[in-house]
A and B are shown apart, each in its own frame.
Chain A
């Protein structure tokens, strides 16, 4: 009896959570459509503030991690490729890995840690302070007011952050290859020969999709924060964990699709 009771409770909790997530997603889509038809409804000032915090404030850490990623990738692949005397191909490997996969992936994880948790905490604190209730009773949908600007900021900041992370990664790789006596002009020659517009666009599109996931999951966690002392902390944690899981799953699905379609 205890087992079935627990199973039933867990199922009901999951269904309620899924229902709330779907309702939130639906409301977000409706608000986004309404903002397209009536641009005056879009809170441009709030968007700019969220964009500045997500993009410009996040640039140093994203660039730094991108640079280290390039350094580590170059070092690790050098161990294998040096045995065949083809260190120069590290540049090809770096280009493909950073532009197609690791650039958007690592940037999205940083965005989830910085901005996703911040979105959840900001909105969670507003919920604790009854500010969400205040918006609702004023007739202002919290999704339009709080979620849309943040999600748009996350979507638009991702391609910019991704480009910086990728370039920093390539610079890191170039420095390591220079130490290994591969001249920098040769490195950049291989990079420009390997990178295609399609590859770069694919990576940036993935980045924008990851940004949307981080924005939606972060804001959703904040809106569902419990009004208790640990509610905001739990919301921030679930925003980061949920975002990383969603990014990993989406990346996996996109990788399978790209492989299936031969792109």
Chain B
């Protein structure tokens, strides 16, 4: 706990003794860790361990059951919601692009709602973001006309439209072939280098974890809590926990 406070200046997200889950169903208990500014932080664990649930708490979709969770120094609440929504960008597992809008319109939407930019400025900014994620050629296509990987790229562009401090990515590799998945990892690394933003990624894809993560937090369904925290290679080589060793050795203890 003392460590958390000492690092408060450089921490963008802090969890102190958080119980995660839904009313009547605690999935993770007494979770404490912090995510530093500018790092790629992975939430990992087996299926159903609560990694997506804890991300939903971080992005303000569900309230935490107990403890304290701050994003950029603020707790989610009625008064802070508007400010916090500007500080985060989220790419959902399916992309969650609005089906009736083109990729360009999807990226322009937050700019239209939250900035005083003129139409031409919005268009130029959205095009620049789409080109950044190598989606310039598909700007005028509907989400139904592009592949899953392209949808995720466009969703990343939308998530970054308002220049947020933290970008959350929910299972970016899910449903993608290894080549597309690896290209998406390269994109995340490039964006991290270019923008110095914090990326919080929910995944259990080992190649992605080793390629992009600075640090990772690992959760276990059976123990309802955080079981490991650190750089992926350290966790793989140095952990005494049988579950962590088994996870990183692809099921071999």
Give me the interface of A with B, judged by CB distance under 8 Å.
49, 125-126, 129-131, 133-134, 136-140
Report which of B85, B94, B100 forms a contact with A138, defined as CB distance below 8 A: B85
Q: How far is the CB of A11 from chain B (nearest CB, A)?
A: 16
Q: List B residues 89-115 near A (Cβ within 8 Å).
A: 90, 92-94, 96-100, 109-110, 113-114
Q: B residues within 8 A CB of A129?
A: 94, 96, 99
Report which of A49, A126, A133, A140 forms a contact with B61, defined as CB distance below 8 A: A133
Q: A residues within 8 A CB of B92?
A: 130, 133-134
Report which of B60, B93, B100, B110 forms a contact with A130, defined as CB distance below 8 A: B93
Is A139 a contact partner of B99 (Cβ separation < 8 A)? no
Q: A residues within 8 A CB of B100?
A: 49
Digitize B69-88: 1 where CB-to-A-CB distance is under 8 Å, 0 elsewhere: 00000000000011001101
CA–CA, A58 and B96, complex, Å = 30
Q: How far is the CB of A8 from chain B (nearest CB, A)?
A: 15
Given contacts A125-B99, A137-B88, 10 further A-B contacts (CB under 8 A): A126-B99, A130-B93, A131-B97, A131-B98, A133-B90, A133-B96, A134-B92, A134-B96, A136-B60, A139-B82
Q: B residues within 8 A CB of A134?
A: 90, 92, 96, 98
CA–CA, A55 and B82, complex, Å = 36
Q: A residues within 8 A CB of B109?
A: 138, 140
Report which of B97, B98, B114 forms a contact with A139, defined as CB distance below 8 A: B114
Q: B residues within 8 A CB of A126?
A: 98-99
Q: How far is the CB of A213 from chain B (nearest CB, A)?
A: 25
Judge if B156 is at the interface, Cβ distance under 8 Å: no
Count of chain B residues with Cβ under 8 Å from any Cβ of A? 21
Is A137 a contact partner of B110 (Cβ separation < 8 A)? no
Q: A residues within 8 A CB of B81?
A: 139
Q: A residues within 8 A CB of B98?
A: 126, 131, 134
Is B113 a contact partner of A137 (Cβ separation < 8 A)? no
User: Contacts A136-B61, A137-B59, A138-B113 hold; do A130 and B85 have CB atoms under 8 A apart?
Assistant: no
- A134: nearest chain-B partner, CB-CB: B96
Q: B residues within 8 A CB of A137?
A: 59-61, 85, 88, 90
CA–CA, A46 and B90, complex, Å = 24
Is B110 a contact partner of A138 (Cβ separation < 8 A)? yes
Q: A residues within 8 A CB of B97?
A: 131
Q: A residues within 8 A CB of B90?
A: 133-134, 137
Quick one: which of B60, B82, B88, B113 has the most chain A CB within 10 A?
Answer: B113
Q: A residues within 8 A CB of B99?
A: 125-126, 129, 131
CA–CA, A125 and B98, complex, Å = 11
Report which of A49, A130, A139, A140 forms a contact with B94, defined as CB distance below 8 A: A130
Q: A residues within 8 A CB of B114?
A: 139
Quick one: which of A49, A126, A139 has the most chain B CB within 10 A?
Answer: A139
CA–CA, A49 and B88, complex, Å = 31
Q: B residues within 8 A CB of A139?
A: 81-82, 85-86, 113-114
Is A130 a contact partner of B113 (Cβ separation < 8 A)? no
CA–CA, A136 and B109, complex, Å = 13
- B113: nearest chain-A partner, CB-CB: A140
Q: B residues within 8 A CB of A136?
A: 60-61
Q: How far is the CB of B175 from chain A (nearest CB, A)?
A: 13
CA–CA, A138 and B85, complex, Å = 6
User: Can you list 6 A-B contacts (CB < 8 A)?
Assistant: A126-B98, A129-B99, A130-B94, A136-B60, A138-B109, A140-B109
